[in-house]
């Protein structure tokens, strides 16, 4: 099946779609020996695709990984600022040539559960709002939010002109005047938890995602990864709510 080149390069782990467009515009991408142009399509099964003269491989095997992202690492295939990316935490044979890419985002200052896959169908199931996969976080905030504040957070807070979806929020413990919260969301707006916490007067001090759709980190160390088991992938693909 023919697909847009920037999508194929992103799936192969060469670059993000935006950066792939830059590569194509610079004339650094060739299809069957001819310089590609923006908007071109190719079939990874039959066409020869090269970047800077190096052929790009496309893995037939579908891979889905759970990574425990450390702080300071960028959720991207390529970072123009030269910061370390999540692909650099994988073995070279997985980071290049398999097409795995991060699904969704954790900002650079956050840590915890992140999925990577080369399965486009699964990517859609994980990112489309209609599936509403749950994401659970442990969040250390400054100060001790009262029950009224927590209830406000649970019911929804106005962001960008529209309220957030209802969330599960509970206080796990207090630490020297600060509070450790457990928060479960079924949406993922940009820096949502940090923005809501700031708006409610309790800025985030530390944020760690502990589970996605009920698939938790367990004892997976920071910076480590594991391949998902088939039942876990089925759960994600079906859009099961957990």
Which of 40, 79, 107, 160 does the annotation list as catalytic?
107
Backbone angles phi, psi at 86, to 5 degrees: -65, -30
Tell the residue number behind the tokens 């749950």, with chain if given: 134
Q: Where are the alpha helices (DSSP H) in the chain?
A: 5-11, 17-25, 92-95, 120-127, 147-155, 192-199, 230-237
- Give the C-alpha separation, 87 to 110, whole Å: 16
- Give the C-alpha separation, 11 to 174, whole Å: 43
Q: Is the Cβ–Cβ distance between 23 and 17 less than 8 Å?
A: no
Radius of gyration of the chain from its Cα atoms, rounded to whole angstroms: 20
- Reply yes or no on whether 107 is catalytic: yes
Q: Is the Cβ–Cβ distance between 66 and 228 less than 8 Å?
A: yes
- Give the C-alpha separation, 33 to 27, whole Å: 12
Q: Is the Cβ–Cβ distance between 158 and 121 less than 8 Å?
A: no
Pairing label, strands 3-4, 41-42: antiparallel
Q: Residue 30: left if φ>0, alpha if ψ -120 to 50, beta else—which one?
A: beta
As annotated, the active-site residues are 107
């Amino acid at each position: 099946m023919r697909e847009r080149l920037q999508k194929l390069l992103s799936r192969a782990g060469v670059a993000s779609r935006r950066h792939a467009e830059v590569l194509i515009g610079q004339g650094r991408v060739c299809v069957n020996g001819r310089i590609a142009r923006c908007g071109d399509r190719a079939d990874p099964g039959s066409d020869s695709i090269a970047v800077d003269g190096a052929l790009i491989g496309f893995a037939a095997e579908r891979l889905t990984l759970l990574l425990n992202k450390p702080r300071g690492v960028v959720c991207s295939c390529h970072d123009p600022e030269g910061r370390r990316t999540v692909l650099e935490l994988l073995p070279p044979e997985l980071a290049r040539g398999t097409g795995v890419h991060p699904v969704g985002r954790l900002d650079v200052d956050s840590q915890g559960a992140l999925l990577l896959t080369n399965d486009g169908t699964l990517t859609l199931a994980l990112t489309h709002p209609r599936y509403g996969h749950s994401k659970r976080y442990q969040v250390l905030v400054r100060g001790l939010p009262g029950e009224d504040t927590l209830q406000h957070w649970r019911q929804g807070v106005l962001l960008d002109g529209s309220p957030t979806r209802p969330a599960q929020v509970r206080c796990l413990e207090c630490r020297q005047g600060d509070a450790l919260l457990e928060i479960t969301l079924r949406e993922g707006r940009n820096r949502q938890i940090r923005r809501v916490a700031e708006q409610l007067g309790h800025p985030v001090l530390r944020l760690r995602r502990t589970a996605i759709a009920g698939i938790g980190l367990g004892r997976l160390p920071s910076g480590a990864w594991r391949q998902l088991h088939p039942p876990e992938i089925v759960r994600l693909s079906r859009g099961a709510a957990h």
